[in-house]
C-alpha cells in the first residue's frame, strides 16, 4: 500500500503533462506552414516534364499487351505506334539541348511492336531527355540548332512537354475506350 501514493502521483503527473501537450500539439498542427520555395522557369518546366513522363510510362505499363494494336479508327496510330512515336520524338527534341548525336537509329513507331519493347524504348527515351531538363533558368535562353534552325533550348523542351501532353490526351482516350482508368485520373498516391 505504501506504493499507492507514489503511483497516484505518477498518474497525476502523466495526466497533467498530457493535458498540457494536447493543446500545444494542436496549435503546432494549425500553425501556418512556410510557403514552398519559388518555382523557377526551369524548375517548372522540369516538373511538367516529370508529370507527363510519369503518366505516359504508367499508361504504357497498365495497358494490356493485347490492346497495343488497338486503333480507335483505322486512320490513326495504334496505341503501340503512339508510344513509339513519343519515344522517337523525345530524341529529336532533346538531342539539340544535350548537344550530342541522336542515339536513336530506329523508327520505334514501326520497329518496336511488343509491349516490352515499346515500354523499354519509351523509358529509354525519357531517360535520355531527363538530363536536358536539369538546367538553370539562363540555360533556357541558350541558342541551339534544331534541324536547320537556331532556337532557344527552352523552346525545344517546352515543345517536347507540349507534344507529350498532346499525345497523352490520345492515350487517355484509348484507355477509356478499353475501360481502363488513365493514370491522371487515378486517386492521388
For the chain, domain boundaries: 41-183
Strand ranges, E, within the chain: 143-146, 149-152
**Cα angle: 88, vertex 91, 93; to 5 degrees:** 110
Tracing cell 531527355 back to the chain, one arrives at 129
Pairwise CA distance, residues 141 & 152, whole Å: 5
CA dihedral of 102, 112, 155, 173, whole degrees rounded to 10: 180
Say which residue the cell 550530342 belongs to. 100
Query: What 3-state class would DSSP assign to 105?
Result: coil
Q: pLDDT 10s digit of each residue in the chain, 189 long?
A: 555 566 556 655 555 555 556 666 666 667 788 888 888 999 999 999 999 999 999 999 999 999 999 999 999 999 999 999 999 999 999 999 999 999 988 888 888 889 999 999 999 999 999 999 999 999 999 999 998 999 999 999 999 999 999 999 999 999 999 999 999 988 876
**Helices 41-62 & 115-129, crossing angle to 10 degrees?**
170
> Architecture of domain 41-183 in CATH?
Up-down Bundle (1.20)
Amino acid at each position: 500500500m505504501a506504493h499507492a501514493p507514489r503511483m497516484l502521483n505518477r498518474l497525476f503527473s502523466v495526466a497533467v503533462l498530457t493535458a498540457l501537450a494536447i493543446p500545444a500539439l494542436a496549435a503546432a498542427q494549425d500553425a501556418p506552414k512556410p510557403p514552398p520555395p519559388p518555382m523557377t522557369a526551369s524548375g517548372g518546366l522540369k516538373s511538367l516534364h516529370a508529370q507527363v513522363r510519369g503518366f505516359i510510362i504508367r499508361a504504357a505499363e497498365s495497358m494490356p499487351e493485347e490492346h497495343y494494336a488497338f486503333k480507335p479508327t483505322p486512320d490513326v496510330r495504334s496505341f503501340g505506334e503512339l508510344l513509339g512515336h513519343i519515344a522517337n520524338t523525345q530524341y529529336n527534341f532533346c538531342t539539340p539541348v544535350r548537344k550530342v548525336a541522336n542515339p536513336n537509329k530506329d523508327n520505334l513507331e514501326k520497329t518496336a511492336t511488343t509491349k516490352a519493347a515499346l515500354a523499354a524504348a519509351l523509358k529509354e527515351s525519357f531517360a535520355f531527355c531527363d538530363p536536358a531538363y536539369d538546367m538553370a533558368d539562363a540555360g533556357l535562353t541558350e541558342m541551339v540548332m534544331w534541324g536547320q534552325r537556331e532556337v532557344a533550348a527552352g523552346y525545344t523542351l517546352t515543345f517536347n512537354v507540349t507534344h507529350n501532353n498532346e499525345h497523352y490526351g490520345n492515350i487517355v482516350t484509348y484507355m477509356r475506350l478499353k475501360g481502363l482508368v488513365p493514370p491522371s485520373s487515378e486517386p492521388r498516391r
